[in-house]
Chains A and B, each alone.
Chain A
């Protein structure tokens, strides 16, 4: 299912903004201006693809921590992303309590992300179960990495979702690395789509650097879930262009030439750029660079925490 021109332009704008923010955060973290960056370059078409298949503020998301593009697509402003990055107390995601990439927003229907991956799978299943009980027609997208997929949490979650035909979609970002550990030491199959059959749910493998393919797969899955057809597993392959986080040194375990080769053929930004008018893309690039710069400067200037508030929010 091809995207309309307007949809292609929205997708490009989202991915370009995600990339501009990502690169700026990486440089700022390397310069010691913030504690922690979690790059998502290479993953953007997955989040953009599934987020544009969702109904914002009706559907729910338990995101992967590399799903900045999805957060932007659902309406998170760049300034909020940067507040999260600088861990400012005014950050609506985590109030200065969690490091960057632990997204969460009630207003945007994004479940709060935690540290241990991927505990949010069962939270997403619970959320989808709530949707079914409430009968409001909402769908929950649950995204996680292929490293996280090895945890019993994912097995239990997919099993339960399939048993009760819950309205959810499991999206696995399959980049082949779990921080420094390569795919063959994490799972014995080439992909993860085989697992869907084991739970009695449909599964689809998709090139996660192709936003049109990702959007098509996610749309079908979301519509099936919304119609009462239960969960789907979307196995989305991609390439992680950057180290795991700003605390990681990937030269110790992988060859940069492998990444460079992948960039040439599987860069979601370049591939989505090919779907829009070059002049549009140039204008968007400039706009996104300016937005990222402004958001970073603004957020960094926001006040640090007030110690008199440190005991707040442990209980209602």
Chain B
């Protein structure tokens, strides 16, 4: 955002209106078309004042024909204009789908880059205002499945303005999903004048350690409310506002999950094949979750009921999000990303012990020696899976220096060294995701026992001894006591 811009509080609908007015004044190619957008100013008043200011040539009341509202916008965009079409309710958008998914999203690609289609289509989505099945739906999953299209879903007034300006200036077609309950319920600071919020950038709306909520639209605000409530109970939840649904900001999402390692996705759209499925898959593939994720979504129903009690029963809210988060943070860690001190009885281990001449100060030398030995025995620097053993190209030694400095659980092989306070001899255990661990016992009179354990499914028993002998040789070369070297 530009420096020095004055900040006022606006509602989301005021921010949308301001973005349209400012961009129409800046760029004569921008025209607004849709049902009732002219003299009425739109059913939600998003275009209020534009007709009087910019005239009937640029603010056009369209016939009630959603197919051609989108199709004509495609043609205007191809012709060099910057159309901002409005579909009054997202529930009516499917008549436009052929032009959004079949045409706008494909035009650049299908012409090898010769043509482009820089159009914007805004629509009001979301429930919570007793609109019933045809004025309340969330439609994002259909359109976030259309490569070539971009889909944004602002949740704050500042983003509503900044994302809409970015959308109008984007060289590709952008679907802007505005949650109709945010229009007047959400008020916030909005800079005056020109700025954009980049498409494809999520935002950490609230920092936290214990879990990450991914949300957008009205559910962002419900998630923040749930997080504030849980903070009083000592549960510290991070909330990420996705802002753009296609393309997803994978970096921001994964960076948050790397920190919290627990995921809760919240959307008003129905559960099955919803955006939450993709977000959970993204996290699972990246291996950033310690426990299974949770999704809070509308149940798989054909529509949203209009009755007050029934609608409240199906839409997610701060209470159902809170309940899901409590469930999520109480889940036991398990699987490949367990804490480094966890012992996994499912790993069948083989072990061996060897006597090493060793100086008191040897930890740095031991790391280098273990890396050398592991490179010579790649099976000891691997991950076992029934589908195949993966040998890692790099050796990352995970160092366990005692209860106060345990292994981080991120390496490819573990080295345990409790120093003079540790046992003379103890067999380490293999960490999940690794195939070998080495433990150096306390040094007594220039000598120490070194024990090694391996995942027997990955490493042959005889190789344990060979690996340990290689480690001994590499270690003594680097850290034998003076007396031993003289011999």
Contact = CB atoms under 8 A, between A and B. Distances in A.
A314 B147 contact: yes
Contacts of A126: 71-79, 81, 83
Given A97-B109, A126-B77, A133-B57, A119 B98 contact: yes
A122 B108 contact: no
B76 A119 contact: no
A112 B107 contact: yes
Contacts of B108: 313-316
A62 B106 CA distance: 16
Which of A98, A112, A115, A316 lies at the interface centre, i.e. has the most chain B CB atoms within 10 A of its CB?
A112
A160 B62 contact: yes
Contacts of A303: none
A160 B109 contact: no
A129 B119 CA distance: 14
A197 interface: no
A61 interface: no
B63 A156 contact: yes
Nearest to B147: A314
B114 A316 contact: no
B2 interface: no
B99 interface: yes
B120 to A, nearest CB: 14
A316 B171 contact: yes
A129 B75 contact: yes
Given A119-B102, A133-B81, A315-B172, A153 B110 contact: no
B148 interface: yes
Given A123-B78, A315-B172, A157 B71 contact: yes
B116 A316 contact: yes
B71 A153 contact: yes
Interface in B55-100: 57-58, 62-63, 65, 67-68, 70-81, 83, 98-99
A133 B31 contact: yes
B115 interface: yes
A122 B72 contact: yes
A278 interface: no
Interface string A122-143: 1111111111011000000000
A124 B108 CA distance: 17
Given A152-B67, A156-B67, A316-B171, A112 B114 contact: yes
Interface in A149-166: 152-153, 156-157, 159-160, 163
A152 B68 CA distance: 9
Given A122-B99, A124-B75, A133-B31, A160 B68 contact: yes
Contact of B68 (A60, A112, A156): A156
Contacts of A116: 98, 102
A105 interface: yes
Contacts of B73: 126
A295 interface: no
B103 interface: yes
Contacts of B172: 315-316
Interface in B121-167: 147-148, 150
B111 A104 contact: yes
A114 B103 contact: yes
A130 B75 contact: yes
A157 B112 CA distance: 27
Contacts of A124: 75
A255 interface: no
Contacts of A315: 108, 148, 150, 172
Nearest to A111: B78
A121 interface: yes
Given A124-B75, A315-B148, A130 B81 contact: yes
Nearest to A124: B75
Given A133-B58, A152-B65, A163-B63, 7 more contacts: A95-B112, A119-B103, A123-B75, A126-B75, A126-B79, A127-B78, A160-B68
Q: Lowest 4 A-B CB distances belong to which pairs?
A: A126-B75, A95-B112, A122-B71, A130-B79
17 contacts: A92-B114, A94-B110, A97-B112, A98-B110, A105-B114, A112-B115, A119-B71, A119-B98, A125-B75, A129-B72, A129-B79, A130-B79, A131-B79, A134-B81, A157-B72, A312-B113, A316-B116
